[in-house]
Each structure stands twice: as C-alpha cells, then as structure tokens.
C-alpha cells in the first residue's frame, strides 16, 4: 500500500495515548510519510479540523485508545471509506484493537507498507428520528450512524420508570416491549451490550440486525435476529409517562418524544478494520477477551 498521508487519532484523556502518538508519528515519518494527528473524545470533535487541513484523504487512520475511541472514530471515517488501524492504548477490553506491544515494534509500519494485512468490512447501522406534525407530515429530526449498536432507554431524572416501546419490522407489528429498553446491534456489536442483555454472538463477517430487550417484564420477549435489509420502526407507546433517549455506541443521541418515530436499518456505509495478524481468528479473540468456551472451574483453560 502506498500511503502518503496518515492520520492518528488518540484518546483525549490518556497521557499514554498522546505519548504513543508522538512515537508512532516518528516511526511513520521515518518512512517518508506525512502524519497529522488529533485527540478524539465524546466532548470534542477535532476530526473535522483534520479534514480541513488535509488536501487529500488519508489512506489509513491509526486510532490509539480503547473500543470506545474506535467506535467514535468509525462514525466519522466510515462515510469516507478510510480504513482504521487501532491499538489498545489506555482502553479496557480492547475487543476491536490490536495489542499495544505491536505498536512498539518499528516494523509494524513496514508490514502495512508491504500490504501484509487484511481488511475486514464491518456492517454499520443508521438511525433516523422523524417528527410527526399536526398535519400528518413528517420531518427528519436527527440522523446517526453506529458500528456497534443503537439502544433506547428511559431517561427520567428522579425516578427509574419502565420503557414502553412498539416495534414494527418491514411494516408488520412485531411486539410491544415493556422493560428497561431495546438494543439494536450489528454483528460487531453482538459481543457488547447486546450480549450482556442475553443476545447471541454473531460472526462479524455476516450481515444481520439483532434486537434484544433490556430486562423485559415478559418471559415472551426474546432476542431476534433479522435480515440486514429489514426496516425496523420503533415508536413510544402513547399515553405512557416516559422520556426515552436514543444512544449510539454508548454515546448520547437524542430524545425520542411521543410524536417521534425512530427508523433503524443497515447503513450504506461500512467500517474498514485493518487486521495485522495474518492468522487472525475471531474465535481466538472471543476466547481470550470474553473467556468463551472456558472451563467452569478454571477460566484460564
């Protein structure tokens, strides 16, 4: 791969990530490449400044942080089809990232330059919130992208009420949920919040949408996996005293009010994830990170 411009995005609240950014920049510039870098967080979006500073788009963006940093970066980079090479610097689980030790090897960029890597295309979701007016017309209130998941939950300050939502799939009424909320996940996100809510693990090479209820008040509410072309419409059940909020990849989206409708579907964009390990195994990753298939007596086996 011929790479003339490289971006580095680093976790803003990590001094270690900043130091690794400078080290990484030095290594890559040693190969004659131009490097621009910026911090990234929920509160600040400096990626647009990189777009303004760059005459051309980068062929690769290196992300230094945890999974949350990768998810935030993906929302801005994926519409431009910019591949992400990520390393776990200052993060926790690091399910979407490479081990930090690889970054310390000066040969890591030589592998990239010689095309010794794989690119995985990861499905994303798009959520559009519509506002219904008095004349039965609808306008778009907000639109969002997510790599892991969208979820809707109650957000009342003083009390913790249940969340009442109606779900339609492809125009057909499917269920009326009452509980803490609903999760809509990609296969990439199936090992995150959806899994914690009892949803299935879906291999990320597949395209599908997983719907999982959060603490439902009915034994009949079970996770469901639907085809990627499905159109999922969520509406607050009117007459219920509730404030509902849409979240994307753990970040705040917007309020869903009584007159709003939320449409969730597969996005036209996908996230390109660079994998340096030529013998990468998804099953090995979930075994190491989540202790999948471990012995009940000894999690190390």
Instruction: Please tell me the predicted confidence (pLDDT) of residue 120.
Output: 96
SS3 assignment, position 124: strand
Q: Where are the domains of the chain?
A: 5-117+276-290, 124-268
SS3 assignment, position 300: coil
pLDDT of 299 > 60? The answer is: no
- Same fold yes or no, 5-117+276-290 and 124-268: no
Question: Is 180 considered catalytic here?
Answer: no
- pTM, entire model: 0.91
pLDDT digits (tens, 9 = 90+) for 208-233: 999 999 999 998 889 999 999 999 99
Of 67, 149, 175, 260, the active-site residue reads 67
For range 155-179, the mean pLDDT: 89
Averaged pLDDT score across all residues of the chain: 90
For range 26-49, the mean pLDDT: 85
**Tokens describing residue 266:** 């597969």
pLDDT of 238 > 80? The answer is: no
Angstrom distances, CA of residue 290 to CA of 76, 195, 267: 28, 11, 28
Q: What is the CATH number of domain 5-117+276-290?
A: 3.40.50.10330
Q: How far apart (Å, rounded) are the C-alpha atoms in residues 221 and 200?
A: 14
Q: What is the CATH number of domain 124-268?
A: 2.60.200.30
Q: How far apart (Å, rounded) are the C-alpha atoms in residues 73 and 63?
A: 8
Instruction: Please tell me the predicted confidence (pLDDT) of residue 114.
Output: 87
pLDDT digits (tens, 9 = 90+) for 240-286: 677 899 999 999 999 998 889 999 999 999 999 999 987 889 999 99
**Tokens describing residue 166:** 């109606």
Instruction: Please tell me the predicted confidence (pLDDT) of residue 296.
Output: 52
Instruction: Please tell me the predicted confidence (pLDDT) of residue 4.
Output: 86
């Amino acid at each position: 791969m011929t790479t003339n411009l490289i971006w580095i995005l680093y976790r803003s609240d990590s001094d270690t990530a900043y130091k690794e950014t400078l080290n990484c920049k030095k290594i890559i510039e040693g190969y004659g490449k131009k490097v621009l870098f910026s911090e990234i967080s929920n509160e600040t979006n400096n990626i647009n400044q990189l777009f303004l500073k760059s005459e051309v788009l980068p062929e690769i963006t290196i992300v230094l942080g945890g999974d949350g940093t990768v998810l935030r970066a993906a929302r801005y980079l994926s519409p431009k089809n910019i591949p992400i090479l990520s390393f776990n610097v200052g993060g926790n689980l690091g399910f979407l990232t490479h081990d930090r030790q690889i970054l310390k090897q000066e040969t890591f960029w030589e592998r990239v330059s010689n095309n010794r890597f794989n690119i995985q295309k990861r499905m994303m979701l798009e959520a559009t919130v519509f506002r219904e007016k008095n004349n039965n017309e609808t306008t778009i209130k907000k639109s969002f992208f997510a790599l892991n998941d969208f979820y809707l939950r109650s957000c009342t300050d003083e009390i913790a009420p249940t969340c009442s939502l109606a779900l339609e799939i492809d125009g057909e009424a499917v269920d009326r949920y009452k509980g803490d909320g609903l999760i809509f996940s990609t296969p990439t996100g199936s090992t995150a919040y959806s899994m914690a809510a009892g949803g299935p693990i879906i291999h990320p090479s597949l395209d599908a949408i997983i719907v999982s209820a959060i603490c439902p008040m009915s034994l009949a509410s079970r996770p469901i996996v639907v085809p990627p072309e499905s159109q999922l419409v969520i509406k607050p059940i009117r007459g219920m005293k509730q404030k509902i909020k849409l979240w994307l990849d753990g970040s705040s989206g917007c309020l869903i009010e009584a007159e709003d409708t939320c449409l969730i579907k597969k996005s036209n964009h996908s996230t390109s994830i660079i994998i340096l390990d030529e013998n990468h195994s998804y099953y090995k990753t979930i075994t190491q990170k989540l202790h999948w298939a471990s012995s009940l007596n000894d999690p190390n086996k």
